[in-house]
Amino acid sequence: MLPDAKVWLAKTALQTLIDRLRAAGYEVIGPRVADGAVTLGEVSSLADLPHGVRDDQQPGRYRLTMADDDSYFDHVVGPHSLKPYLFPPRTTVLEVLRVRDSWEARVPEPPRPKRAILGVRSCDLHALTIQDRVFLGEKHPDPEYAARREGLFLVAVNCSRSAATCFCVSMNTGPTVTDGADLVLTELADGFVVSVGTEAGARILGDLGKREPTPDELATAEEVPRRAATQQTRRINSATVHDTLMNNLTHPRWDDVAKRCLACTNCTMVCPTCFCATVNEVNDLAGTHTTRERVWESCFNEEHSWTASGAVHPTTKTRYRQWLTHKLATWIDQFGTSGCVGCGRCITWCPVGIDITEEVAAMEGGVA
């Protein structure tokens, strides 16, 4: 079977696909319901998946509902993305051990897990491309990220619906999966149209897809993400947002949003592309073992911008402005692409419902 081939997969055969991945040595991660949300966790059977579950997302609101159907992927993105599986929230980068009367420093060998992630959406695949550019740059590739990236197998899903907070269409990142996955599933009422993306995907699928999809099945599958695209009402003008923000650094809207922002860091924690980190030294009580740990940080924390003369961004206003202008404007200058993929997580998981599409729209039209 060649890449770009399409086959039909019965819904029950999804279990066989999971079994094949596990037999090939992969830890299979997929969507699961936990703590009132569709999260990511290890799955071993179809019973682990969110069968008939939908999510209602609004600014500052997330609720699950049950649908009277047999769908496994009719939800949209939850709080988890690929980020923690490649850039963990806490990583030991150095250990220092007391050996007799001296100290010995060693860099831990990065883990190289074989991990298959089921149900990845187009926006998160685009976020992965952005993270690859950040962590796998030619000059200073990150060995921890590279080791985890090497063993990653991706089973993507074309979105069948959009949440009210999605705006991937305007960012040109979805909802149709176009690249970056080993296999791509489009869920229909009684099965899946499966697109083979890589040779690794073809090997895993093997003879599991016993027939090609019919013309009607192919046409219906193409309509699934198109329908999801028409449901989106939020947008950002990706062609003009850079200049909109950079020409409005003194706009009164920054003061307005600062009055609402809690600087809680939720938006940066759920964002699939944010990569801020800090380093902590952790000592044991005996004084014989010290670890240097890289942990997630956020530009919404005042101490993140501390220098010898104090904080560069001492107020919520300046920290929010730093985050939004970097994400949507100077990221383009730095990496040649936007840092936003339109997944809408920052809108859904903001406790006060701040909507970045609304903030950008308020500044469009020139300097105030």
At residue 70, the pLDDT reads: 87
Examine the pLDDT at 138 and tell me if it is beyond 80: no
Does a cis peptide bond (omega within 30 degrees of 0) precede residue 110? no
Examine the pLDDT at 80 and tell me if it is beyond 80: yes
User: What is the mean predicted confidence (pLDDT) over 98-109?
Assistant: 88
Q: Which runs of E-coded beta strand occur in 128-221? A: 152-157, 183-187, 191-196
Do 294 and 145 touch, CB atoms closer than 8 A? Answer: no
In angstroms, the CA 346 to CA 354 distance is 8
Question: How confident is the model over 171-228, as pLDDT tens digits?
Answer: 999 999 999 999 999 999 999 999 999 999 999 999 998 899 999 999 999 999 999 9
Task: Write down the domain spans for the chain.
Answer: 6-88+110-230, 241-273+302-363
Examine the pLDDT at 28 and tell me if it is beyond 60: yes
pLDDT-derived band of residue 366, with 50, 70 and 90 as boundaries? low
At residue 368, the pLDDT reads: 43
At residue 212, the pLDDT reads: 93
Do 53 and 98 touch, CB atoms closer than 8 A? Answer: no
Judging by beta carbons within 10 Å of its beta carbon (0-12, 13-18, 19+), is residue 311 exposed, middle or buried?
middle
Range of weakest confidence among 32-46, 72-86, 89-103, 158-172: 89-103
- By residue count, the chain amounts to 368
Examine the pLDDT at 303 and tell me if it is beyond 90: no
At residue 288, the pLDDT reads: 86
Instruction: Give 336's contacts (C-beta < 8 A, 6+ positions apart).
Output: none
At residue 1, the pLDDT reads: 61
* Residue 306, amino acid: W
Neighbour count for residue 233 (Cβ, 10 Å): 11
Question: How confident is the model over 261-291, as pLDDT tens digits?
Answer: 999 999 999 999 999 999 999 998 888 889 9
At residue 306, the pLDDT reads: 80
At residue 367, the pLDDT reads: 45
Please spell the DSSP secondary structure of 4-37, one letter per residue: T-EEEEETTHHHHHHHHHHHTTPEEEEEEEETTE
At residue 302, the pLDDT reads: 87
Examine the pLDDT at 23 and tell me if it is beyond 80: yes
Q: What is the DSSP letter of 272?
A: S
**Over the chain, what is the mean pLDDT?**
94
Cα 93 to Cα 115, 275, 304, 342: the distances in Å are: 21, 16, 19, 32
Does pTM top 0.75 for this prediction?
Answer: yes
Examine the pLDDT at 69 and tell me if it is beyond 90: no
Tokens of 167: 């705006």
At residue 189, the pLDDT reads: 93
User: What is the mean predicted confidence (pLDDT) over 128-136?
Assistant: 95
Helices (H), 151-240: 199-205, 215-230
Question: How confident is the model over 339-360, as pLDDT tens digits?
Answer: 999 999 999 999 999 999 999 9
* Residue 132, amino acid: D
